[in-house]
């Protein structure tokens, strides 16, 4: 579904991604792991067209998308829930969700909003509230809900559990499982390595700008290097 | 002061009426600031250009400025859109200090263009209603100013509806505060910038049509209004649309009253005292958010 080959990207003189290869098959959860500053967010931004790819190719459902602008990529159904939520603080919960369907799924907006409210009843209670005054956890729900409004074909989640209480983290992983059970392909960037490996089909570890370790989640979990560096085993 | 209350009341009312059109000029400035986070130094030159356009519509085509207001707004929306999309956006490459220089350069080009075409003499139009007054109780209100006030309120309401209830307006507000999030939901940020700039320029066109019956046009006339508009934007709060309108009214009254008490030529002193006072006491303005 998503095929990345030899991807290079960075900022100014700094190169962050130095030849990244990654495949996200349809209907699978692929976990992307890596230390702080490894380039996970940069990878997501490059896939979404916000950071320009300097070399390599990104193919989504058979079509080259590297070089496309973010709106075109969103329109193709590649929906990215960014690190740090990036909700519209000056707009209400409802308006945030409506804008989730700005480029896609406008016709089914009402139905999808009901779906989001079924998933996150808290958002329904706060439908008129400004997103900027929501709690961190509520903002994270809103960011995911906004992504769901676009009826994604592939959902990129960048640290969805960041800043959530342990209970909410559990809920978040349960939600990701549910979304996946509905057939959605998910690329999951997470700090919670153990939990991510539990729900992922495949996993890849980003180090020095390339994927050093990769394979099925079970293979990656068994990797001695990963166990030492990330699981503290 | 021994001035009769009707005179003061009339000064206040006329101040409100004039201030509304000032607010309209400030509206474009504050909108562009609020969304693009730039101060558009070409605002005054674009106002001058719009006033000349309204002048030409009258002098060459015989079209009344009030009739020309909406077509001019459409035309200047297009001009503003293209200027942002084709000149300011590409030339600035996302760096705010470049934008400052680009809009400054643009204003110099426009002013000199106006100077070349229209020479430096001041021009005015001679509409039959320029001196008409409307009786409101004990006071007399200038007809062109009443029309300008009504037009400003209409523009304010139209903008409010656009921003609150349409997808375009919501997209503009989204881009104003969260560009990355906006791009990720598929909003074309460059397009939204250009639309916003176009709306700001369209406000200028309407303001120009409202000003023309009672003001002279010269190649630099816009700057005088924009100086006042800057004060209004600072008073109302940078980026606040309501602030621009309310600030415009306040400044109009201040100008009118200080003109009344200090003499016509000192009318603007009150405005700049307010400017300095706001900067000292409440730098975020009346409706501005804290940094
Ligand atoms: N806009 C930017 N300009 C310059 N350098 C940047 C920019 N964004 C990120 N970087 C740098 O790129 C490198 C990778 O950052 P990135 O945000 O992709 O890491 P990450 O893997 O997502 O980290 P984390 O787990 O902390 O979120 C870092 O060294 C960072 O400092
Ligand atoms: Mg990151």
Inter-residue contact A55 to A209 (CB < 8 Å): no
CA dihedral A45, B193, A71, A155 (to 10 degrees): 50
Q: Which residues of A touch B (CB under 8 A)?
A: 48-50, 69-71, 74-75, 79-80, 82, 85-91, 95, 98-100, 102-104, 146, 150
Alpha carbon of A59 to ligand 2 centroid (Å): 22
For residue B6, is pLDDT > 90? no
Nearest ligand to the C-alpha of residue A192?
A: 1
For residue A233, is pLDDT > 60? no
- Interchain contact, A88 vs B183, CB within 8 Å: no
Closest Cβ–Cβ partner in A69, A87, A150 for B181: A87
- ipTM here: 0.94
pLDDT score at B66: 95
pLDDT score at A232: 63
Residue A227, judged by CB atoms within 10 A of its CB (0-12, 13-18, 19+), counts as middle
> What is the average pLDDT across A181-204?
92
**If you average pLDDT over every residue of chain A, what do you get?**
93
Q: What percent of chain B has pLDDT over 90?
A: 60
For residue B1, is pLDDT > 70? no
DSSP string, A178-225: HHHHTT-EEEEE-S-HHHHHHH-SEEEEEETTEEEEEEEHHHHHH-HH
Alpha carbon of A67 to ligand 1 centroid (Å): 21
pLDDT score at B30: 93
Q: For residue range B140-183, what is the model confidence (pLDDT) as tens digits?
A: 888 989 999 999 999 999 999 999 999 999 999 999 999 999 99
pLDDT score at B291: 41
What sign results for the dihedral spanned by CA atoms B215, B216, B220, B224?
negative
Alpha carbon of A41 to ligand 1 centroid (Å): 7
Q: For residue range A163-175, what is the model confidence (pLDDT) as tens digits?
A: 888 888 998 999 9
Per-domain boundaries in chain B = 27-220
More confident residue, A224 or A156: A156
Inter-residue contact A123 to A138 (CB < 8 Å): yes
> What is the average pLDDT across A177-187?
93
- Interchain contact, B185 vs A103, CB within 8 Å: yes
Q: For residue range A53-92, what is the model confidence (pLDDT) as tens digits?
A: 999 999 999 999 999 999 999 999 999 999 999 999 999 9
Contacts of range A170-174, beta carbons closer than 8 Å, 24 or more positions apart:
A172/A140, A173/A198, A173/A199
B135: distance to nearest CA of chain A, Å?
A: 43
The answer to which of A115-124, A194-203, B235-244, B277-286 has the lowest mean pLDDT is: B277-286
What are the angstrom distances between the C-alpha of A161 and each of A116, A169, A173? 18, 5, 8
Q: Which atom in ligand 1 lies closest to the alpha carbon of residue A44? A: 18
CATH class of A2-77+153-229: alpha beta
With CA atoms as reference, report the closest residue to B57 among B225, B199, B213: B213
The answer to which of A35-44, A105-114, B62-71, B124-133 has the lowest mean pLDDT is: B124-133
> What is the average pLDDT across B195-223?
94
> What is the average pLDDT across A105-113?
94
> What is the average pLDDT across B237-254?
90
The answer to which of A62-76, A107-121, B80-94 has the lowest mean pLDDT is: B80-94
Closest Cβ–Cβ partner in A70, A90, A95 for B183: A70
pLDDT score at B238: 84
Distance CA(B59)–CA(B39), nearest Å, equals: 33
For residue A159, is pLDDT > 90? yes
For residue B81, is pLDDT > 80? yes
- Interchain contact, B184 vs A100, CB within 8 Å: no
**Closest Cα in chain B to A72:** B186
pLDDT score at B148: 93
Q: What percent of chain A has pLDDT over 70?
A: 99
Per-domain boundaries in chain A = 2-77+153-229, 87-150
Neighbours of B4 (CB within 10 A): 9
More confident residue, B265 or A124: A124
What Rg value do the Cα atoms of chain A yield, rounded? 17
Show the ligand 1 pocket: residues with CB < 6 angstroms.
A 11, 14, 16, 34, 36-42, 83
> What is the average pLDDT across B277-288?
82
A190: distance to nearest CA of chain B, Å?
A: 19
> Which stretch, A149-158, A216-225, B272-281, has highest mean pLDDT?
A149-158
Phi, psi of A89 (to 5 degrees): -65, -25
Residue A18's pLDDT band, with cuts at 50, 70 and 90, is very high
pLDDT score at A231: 65
């Amino acid at each position: 579904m998503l095929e990345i080959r030899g991807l290079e990207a960075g900022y100014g003189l700094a190169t962050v991604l130095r030849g990244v290869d990654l495949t996200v098959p349809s209907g699978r959860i692929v976990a992307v792991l890596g230390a702080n500053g490894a380039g996970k967010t940069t990878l997501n931004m490059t896939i979404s067209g916000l950071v320009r790819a300097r070399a390599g190719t990104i193919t989504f459902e058979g079509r080259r998308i590297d070089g496309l602008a973010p709106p075109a990529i969103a329109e193709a159904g590649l929906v990215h829930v960014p690190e740090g939520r990036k909700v519209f603080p000056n707009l209400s919960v409802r308006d945030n969700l409506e804008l989730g369907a700005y480029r896609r799924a406008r016709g089914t907006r009402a139905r999808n909003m009901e779906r989001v409210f079924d998933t996150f009843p808290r958002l329904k209670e706060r439908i008129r509230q400004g997103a900027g005054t929501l709690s961190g956890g509520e903002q994270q729900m809103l960011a995911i809900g906004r992504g769901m409004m676009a009826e994604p074909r592939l959902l990129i989640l960048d640290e969805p559990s960041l800043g959530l209480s342990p209970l909410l983290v559990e809920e978040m992983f349960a939600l990701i499982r549910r979304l996946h059970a509905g057939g959605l392909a998910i690329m999951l960037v997470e700090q919670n390595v153990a939990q991510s490996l539990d729900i992922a089909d495949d996993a890849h570890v980003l180090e020095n700008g390339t994927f050093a370790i990769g394979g099925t989640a079970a293979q990656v979990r068994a990797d001695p290097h990963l166990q030492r560096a990330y699981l503290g085993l | 002061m021994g001035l009769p209350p009707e005179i003061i009341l009339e000064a206040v009312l006329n101040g409100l009426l004039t201030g509304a059109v000032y607010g309209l000029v400030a509206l474009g400035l504050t909108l562009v600031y609020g969304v693009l986070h730039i101060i558009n130094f070409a605002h005054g030159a674009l106002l001058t250009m719009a006033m000349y356009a309204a002048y030409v519509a009258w002098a060459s085509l015989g079209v009344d400025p009030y009739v020309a207001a909406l077509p001019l707004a459409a035309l200047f929306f297009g001009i503003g859109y293209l200027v942002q999309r084709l000149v300011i956006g590409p030339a600035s490459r996302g760096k705010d200090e470049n934008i400052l220089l680009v809009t400054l350069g643009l204003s110099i080009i426009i002013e000199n263009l106006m100077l070349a075409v229209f020479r430096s003499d001041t021009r005015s139009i001679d509409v039959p209603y320029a001196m008409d007054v409307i009786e409101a109780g004990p006071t007399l209100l200038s007809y062109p100013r009443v029309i300008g006030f009504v037009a400003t309120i209409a523009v304010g309401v139209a903008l409010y509806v656009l921003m609150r209830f349409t997808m375009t307006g919501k997209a503009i507000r989204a881009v104003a505060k969260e560009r990355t999030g906006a791009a990720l939901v598929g909003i074309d940020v460059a397009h939204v910038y250009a639309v916003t700039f176009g709306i700001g320029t369209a406000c200028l066109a309407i303001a120009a049509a409202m000003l023309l019956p009672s003001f002279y046009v010269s190649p630099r006339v816009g700057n005088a209004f924009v100086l006042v508009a800057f004060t209004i934007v600072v008073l109302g709060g940078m980026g606040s649309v309501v602030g621009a309108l309310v600030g415009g009214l306040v400044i109009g009254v201040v100008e009118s009253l200080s003109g009344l008490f200090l003499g016509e030529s000192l009318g603007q002193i009150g405005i700049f005292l307010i400017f300095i006072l706001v900067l000292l006491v409440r730098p975020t303005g009346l409706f501005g958010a804290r940094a």
